[in-house]
Amino acid sequence: VFNVALVTRAFLFFSYPAAMSGDSVWVRLGSSFGFGGEGKVVDGFSGATPLGQIAAAKDALPDIHNTLGGALTDWDAFLGFLPGSVGEVSTLAILIGALILIFTGIASYKIMVSGVVGVFAMASLFNAIGATPAMQVSALHHLLYGGFAFGIVFMATDPVTAARTEAGKWVYGFLVGVMVVFIRVLNAGYAEGMMLAILLMNTFAPLIDYIVVERNVNKRKARLAVAKN
């Protein structure tokens, strides 16, 4: 079973790639709910997303820019002052959503935590190689840039399409984190990777659960055999 929202997005992405993708996004500079907009001279500007800038780099990591065209700091990225899709840019807001989902019992923290661990593991491996600019991106920036935070909190934790066994959730989340970095680094034509990583692991979620259940059954059989002897 696949995540319905991501299947829909994948269909649109591969059917209308020119309309659904690209490095440039439109960013509003005007006042929103009474905040901002003072002294503005334009309504918005187009600028490449951080992952788009990295994917386009040839020899070294580029200077990443925030929504105002200045140098992007980690704090800017955490708060959401960077180009990106609606809902994915503010890691702070996503963390608040994650806490709500965890404390209400809707989503599993195991998938979220293991996903972050998977990102750190795979990013560290690529950092050690460092052959391309994409391989030099730190694990922290993989967490802050793009749709990883949104995907691991709101998409990967879908109880219908994710692994259901407790041990399987750790494996499932870890592999999602590994795959998103793998896709981002090695596929220059697709700067993101979270959508494909989750859909791929949706495919393997039943297999992960099957292996976990069979392992537990075999352990119990072994204990029963020892008890009989």
> What are the tens digits of pLDDT across the range 136-180?
999 999 999 888 999 999 999 999 999 999 999 999 999 999 999
So where are the chain's domains? Answer: 4-228
Q: What is the mean pLDDT of the chain?
A: 85
Are 23 and 191 spatial neighbours (Cβ–Cβ below 8 Å)? yes
Predicted pLDDT of residue 179: 96
Q: Which secondary structure element, helix H or strand E, spans residue 48, and what is its range? A: strand 44-48
pLDDT tens by residue, 97-145: 999 999 999 999 999 999 999 999 999 999 999 888 889 999 999 999 8
Q: What does the alpha-carbon distance between residue 185 and residue 68 come to, in Å, rounded to a whole number?
A: 26
Predicted pLDDT of residue 24: 53
Band of residue 43 on the pLDDT scale cut at 50, 70, 90? very low
Residue recorded with tokens 């059954």: 217
Checking if the pLDDT of 187 tops 80, the result is yes
Q: What does the alpha-carbon distance between residue 220 and residue 5 come to, in Å, rounded to a whole number?
A: 39
Checking if the pLDDT of 18 tops 80, the result is no
Query: Residue 70, SS3?
Result: coil
Q: What does the alpha-carbon distance between residue 52 and residue 128 come to, in Å, rounded to a whole number?
A: 22
Band of residue 182 on the pLDDT scale cut at 50, 70, 90? very high
Checking if the pLDDT of 66 tops 50, the result is yes
Predicted pLDDT of residue 130: 87
Band of residue 70 on the pLDDT scale cut at 50, 70, 90? confident
Q: What does the alpha-carbon distance between residue 109 and residue 97 come to, in Å, rounded to a whole number?
A: 12
Checking if the pLDDT of 219 tops 80, the result is yes
* Cα 16 from chain centroid (whole Å): 22
Q: Estimate the crossing angle of helix 166-186 against helix 109-129, to 10 degrees.
A: 40
